[in-house]
Chains A and B, each alone.
Chain A
Amino acid sequence: MTDFFLYVTVVLLVFFGLSAVLFKRNLIKIVIALNILEAGVNLFFIVLAYRPEGTAPIFTLAPELEKLRMVLPTPQALILTNIVIGFATTALMLVFAVFIYRNNGTLDIRNLKGVEDHD
């Protein structure tokens, strides 16, 4: 199971993020939870790409080729995309939170206008 330990960490991060999204009532906390979920996805890509004793996939001043091992580069490129988009969507969600607060006077999703309580 030690081979899969990091995958378990990924699932736990996704679990925590998802449970906070589903059960928290505060919009700011939901935004934070989505960021935790995104961290889980990023960690998943990193773990997929890992190679033992692998260096960063950069040839500048790298060790000689006989000793050289590199981690897989494509997941890192995808994470680069994910981080910037994550920042942008987080900023947009926070702006929406500002507007929701101004219109409703609260960040509690139970008290928003037009939301019926199903509990």
Chain B
Amino acid sequence: MKLASFLSLVLITGFLFVAINKLHPVGAPLGNPDVLKDRSSAATDIINVNTMDDYYLRNSQTETGSNNVVSSIVFDYRGFDTLGEATVLFLVVTSISMLLSLLYKREDVDDYEFRKPNEFPGDVSRIISYGSYLLYPLIITFGVYLVIHGHLSPGGGFQGGAVMASGTALLLVSALITRHVHRTRRIFSFFESLGLTIFISMGFAGIGTTFLYNFLANGSLTLFGRAIPFGPNPGFLNSGGVLPVLSFAIGVEVFFGLSIILVTLFHVARHRKDME
């Protein structure tokens, strides 16, 4: 058995080493590296554009109104993929929540006390309590900024949601939130479902053309419809079409989904500790 493992390991690694020789050298991918320099060609011009990535770089601003090409791929060109990913996350959160709820009784849950920093429990330092009390609003603000500016700067729904969920982790480890854990979980799961529902609704809203069509881009100024010409610009919040809406929906789903995972795991750990 050990020999078979060893042989398969050597075989797979050998195949990977052989496959390296068939790849392009580092830093020389397919496509034209100077694809952005020719300003004269119009958005639909595909001269000098011989790969999918170069097409995205040239046309994402005029087609989706998003400065961030990665966001325009995640939420527009490959929006269906993102819907599948959000569904996988939803499924994982549901199964973790279901499995771990087998490990504790409901009536043990509501006994915990809510603590303010000055009523800190014995096992948590006062510095940690006060520090997280101050840090939590900043973390949430940063996460919301990442979500709102997803189509302009690095960030987006996934990253912003993960940052905000780290705020939940901070509250849990600093013992600022321990009571109402079960009730929190119900509120969290409602908002998580709401995020996914908004995403799917936006997909159906564009179904006149195709599912998840960016029907708001290059439309009304108040509805994220500002037209963005090709090239660098300072960034305009009211651009991007459905991208900011989808980013918001994903941000809500990721934040509350990861928070459910954290709260449930914390809850089981706490419960086990109390039993000992």
Interface residues of chain A, those whose CB is within 8 Å of chain B, are 3-8, 10-11, 14-15, 18-19, 22-23, 47-52, 54, 56-66, 68-70, 72-74, 76-77, 80-81, 83-85, 87-89, 91-92, 94-95, 98-99, 102, 118-119
Contacts and interface: CB of A to CB of B under 8 A. Distances in A.
Contacts of B8: 22
10 contacts: A11-B13, A15-B13, A52-B27, A52-B33, A60-B235, A73-B69, A73-B70, A89-B92, A92-B92, A92-B95
Given A74-B56, A88-B92, A92-B92, A7 B23 contact: yes
B82 to A, nearest CB: 7
Contact of B34 (A47, A69, A94, A99): A69
B94 to A, nearest CB: 11
Contacts, number: 166
Interface of B: 1-2, 5-6, 8-9, 12-13, 16-17, 20-21, 23, 25-29, 31, 33-34, 36-37, 39, 51-53, 56-57, 60-61, 67-70, 73-74, 78, 81-82, 85, 88-89, 92-93, 95-96, 99-100, 103, 152-154, 156, 158-159, 162, 231-235, 254, 258, 261, 265, 268
Consensus secondary structure, chain A interface: helix
Given A62-B232, A69-B33, A84-B89, A77 B74 contact: yes
Contacts of B233: 59-60
A7 B89 contact: no
Consensus secondary structure, chain B interface: helix
A65 B6 CA distance: 52
Contact of B85 (A15, A61, A85): A85
Given A81-B82, A95-B99, A118-B1, A57 B69 contact: yes
Contacts of B37: 65-66, 68
Given A73-B69, A102-B103, 20 more contacts: A4-B25, A5-B26, A7-B20, A51-B29, A51-B33, A52-B27, A57-B57, A59-B68, A59-B232, A60-B67, A60-B153, A66-B37, A70-B57, A72-B29, A73-B60, A80-B159, A84-B254, A85-B89, A99-B99, A118-B1
B99 A59 contact: no
Contacts of B20: 4, 7-8, 11
Given A14-B13, A59-B67, A84-B254, A74 B52 contact: yes
A84 B53 contact: no
Given A59-B61, A73-B53, A85-B88, A68 B36 contact: yes
A83 B159 CA distance: 10
Contacts of A22: 5-6, 8-9
Contact of B29 (A11, A48, A65, A91): A48
Contacts of B153: 58, 60
Given A7-B23, A22-B9, A60 B158 contact: no
Q: Which 5 A-B pairs have the closest CB atoms?
A: A3-B25, A57-B69, A118-B1, A88-B92, A72-B53
Contacts of A6: 26
B16 A92 contact: no
A89 B16 CA distance: 25
